[in-house]
Structures are given as structure tokens and as C-alpha cells.
Chains A and B, each alone.
Chain A
């Protein structure tokens, strides 16, 4: 399967702990996105990379959140000092960076469900 993959699929942690999630995009895609989805809501944009450059961050991305894409391939999202309000599904998506209509479609991974106790 050459789709977007995310690891882990589920994470349970205690408040105050740090967690890190990984996303592997579709191999030829140079754009990568992180979204957060809470119960009963649509996904909310967190941040966006083109290759290794982080080009946009949402106000939702507090100082406790940091995302990296060091070699322009996989990405990590770290949450420091987790809070119960961080409990959500964290979704990663990727898209082509070339011109044309195909570059506009974001393909999503299965998500990482985080529960902070």
C-alpha cells in the first residue's frame, strides 16, 4: 500500500507527558499537512510543509506543539506537557507540489488517536 501512513494508531498517555507522532506521506508528494479532529467536529488545520520547510502554522499550534520534516520525507508532531484538551485524532495528509489540478488533492492517513488521562 502506497498511501499515507501514521504511527502509532493509538496513544494513551498521562497528563504532563510528551508524545510524538510520525507521518509517512505518499512517496512522490512534497507537501505534508497536519490536522486535528475532535469528536463531532471536522478536521482543523494545524500546520503545513513544503519539502522540509514549514510554511504555515495555525493559531491552534501552541508553544507545546512542534512539527518537523527534516529531510522532506516523513514528519513528526510532538506535543510537550500534554493536557486533557489535547485528546483528539491527529491526521496527516499529503499532496503533490507540482502544478495542475492533481496537486490540490490532499490524501489522508488513518490518523493517530490520542487520549490524555
Chain B
């Protein structure tokens, strides 16, 4: 079965500093990987995905993520954090073919300090 680990409960970063949110996964085969962001009392907003191709993927709002197969990681990054980036971030994985369900991590609360 597929699973996702987001090891940190909360990530604090000063405004303007680089932001990294960590994600590691466990899945058979080549995974499909996703990042979503959730603001209070809202649904999830899609940020970016890795399906195939270039290991560095760029997404919405200046975010990017790097797929590292040897480390089974898909860390989310942003070069310069904004206060408005403060939210809950979820990493998700699904194996290729057949099963369409996404398996989510528990989420990371990001707090950007002005």
C-alpha cells in the first residue's frame, strides 16, 4: 500500500527566506506525486504534480518541488516565502495505473513570520 510521510508538524520561516516542506513516500513502481495547500475552512488547492519527465516541477504561486527517486522524496520549495503562504500543506501519492485513490500525508502547518 502507498503511504506518505511529512515528518514535521510545523515549519516556521521568516518572510523572504527560503521555504522547504518535506515529503517522503512509499509506493510500488514509479509514483505520481502531488502537493496541495489548504487555507482555514477551505478545500484543497492543487499546487503541482510530478508524473514523469524532469525531476524539478514548477507550480502555482512560485512553488516548485524536486522528485528524488533514490531518496523517495518530493520536497516542496519556495525561494522567498510570503506571509500569505501561511497555510496547511499536504503531499499526496498514487501508484501508476489502476488504483485512483490519493494517499495523503498528515500535513505540515507553515507559518511565515513577518
Does B106 contact A105, Cβ atoms closer than 8 Å? no
Interface residues on B, range: 20 to 34
A113 at the interface (CB under 8 A from B): yes
- Decide yes or no whether A31 CB sits under 8 A from chain B: yes
B104 engages A44 (CB within 8 Å): yes
A110 touches B99 (CB 8 A): no
Interface membership of A40, Cβ < 8 A:
yes
Q: Report whether A41 and B107 are in contact in the complex, using a CB–CB cutoff of 8 Å.
A: yes
A106 to B34, CA, bound (A): 10
Please classify how large the interface on chain A is, using the bins under 10, 10 to 19, 20 to 34, 35 or more: 20 to 34
- Given A43-B90, A104-B32: A91 and B102 interface contact (C-beta under 8 Å): no
Interface flag for B22 (CB, 8 Å) = no
B106 and A111 contacting across the interface, CB-CB below 8 Å: no
Question: Is B113 at the interface (CB under 8 A from chain A)?
Answer: no
Query: Do A31 and B100 contact each other (CB < 8 Å), given the known contacts A40-B106, A107-B46?
Result: yes
> B90 to chain A: which residues have CB within 8 Å?
42-43
**Does B45 lie at the interface of the complex (its beta carbon under 8 Å from any beta carbon of A)?**
yes
B100 x A109 contact (CB < 8 A): no
Least distance between A86 CB and chain B CB atoms (Å)? 19
For B51, give its contact among A6, A104, A110 (CB under 8 Å).
A104
Q: Which of B78-104 contact A (CB under 8 A)?
A: 90, 92, 94, 99-104
B107 touches A33 (CB 8 A): no
A40 and B101 alpha carbons, distance in the complex (Å): 20
Q: Does A48 contact B (CB under 8 A)?
A: yes
**A binding-site residues for B, Cβ under 8 Å:** 4, 6, 31, 33, 35, 40-45, 48, 55-56, 58, 91, 93, 101, 104-111, 113
Which A-B residue pairs are the 8 nearest by beta carbons?
A: A42-B104, A45-B101, A108-B43, A108-B44, A110-B43, A101-B51, A111-B43, A43-B104
- Between A and B, 9 residue pairs with Cβ closer than 8 Å are A6-B43, A42-B90, A43-B44, A48-B100, A48-B101, A91-B43, A93-B44, A111-B42, A113-B41
